[in-house]
Amino acid sequence: MPGKTDKLIEQVEHSRVWRSIFRSGTGTSTLHRALAIQQNVFLHLFSNKVRKRMLSVSSTWYLGTLTFGTFLILIVTGVLLMLYYHPSVPQAYADMKDLQFVVSSGLFLRNLHRWSAQAMVFLVFAHMFKVFYRGAYRAPREFNWVIGVMLLLITLLLSYTGYLLPWDQLAYWAITVGSNISSAVPLVGSKIHFLLLGGNQVNANALLRFYVLHCVILPLTALLFVAVHFWRIRKDGGLYVQQSEPKKLAAPDDAVLAKEAK
Cβ–Cβ under 8 Å, residues 130 and 59: no
Among 20, 28, 58, 169, binds another protein (CB under 8 A): 169
Among positions 3, 5, 253, 254, the unique one binding another protein when judged by CB under 8 A = 5
Give the chain's end-to-end CA distance (angstroms, integer): 32
Q: In terms of CB distance, is 50 or 170 closer to another protein?
A: 170
Which CB atom, from 171 or from 218, has the smaller least distance to another protein? 171
**What is the sign of the dihedral through the CA atoms of 142, 147, 151 and 157?**
positive
Nearer to another protein, 97 or 138 (CB): 97
Long-range Cβ pairs for the range 91-98 (8 Å, 24+):
92/165, 92/166, 92/167, 92/207, 93/166, 93/167, 93/168, 96/166, 96/167, 96/168
Return the residue of 112, 130, 168, 231 that touches another protein, per CB under 8 A: 168
In the complex with another protein, the residue whose CB is nearer, 2 or 186, is 2
Residue list 95-134, contact with another protein (CB under 8 A): 97-98, 100-102, 104-105, 108
What sign has the CA pseudo-torsion 143, 149, 152, 156? negative
Least Å from the CB of residue 173 to another protein: 10
Q: Which is nearer to another protein, 132 or 173 (CB)?
A: 173
Do 163 and 171 contact (CB within 8 A), yes or no? yes
CA angle 69, 86, 78 (to 5 degrees): 5
Q: How far is the CB of 37 from another protein (least distance, A)?
A: 22
Residues 165, 149: Cα–Cα separation, whole Å: 25
* 3-class SS of residue 113: helix
Which of these ranges, 32-40, 89-97, 115-123, 251-259, lies near another protein under the rule CB under 8 A? Answer: 89-97
Backbone Cα Rg of the chain? 24
Q: Identify which range of 65-73, 91-99, 121-129, 174-182 contacts another protein by CB under 8 A.
A: 91-99
Q: Of the two residues 168 and 236, which places its CB atom closer to another protein in the complex?
A: 168
Binding mask 8-37 for another protein (x = CB under 8 A): -x----------------------------
Applying CB under 8 A, which residues contact another protein? 1-2, 5, 9, 93-94, 97-98, 100-102, 104-105, 108, 168-169
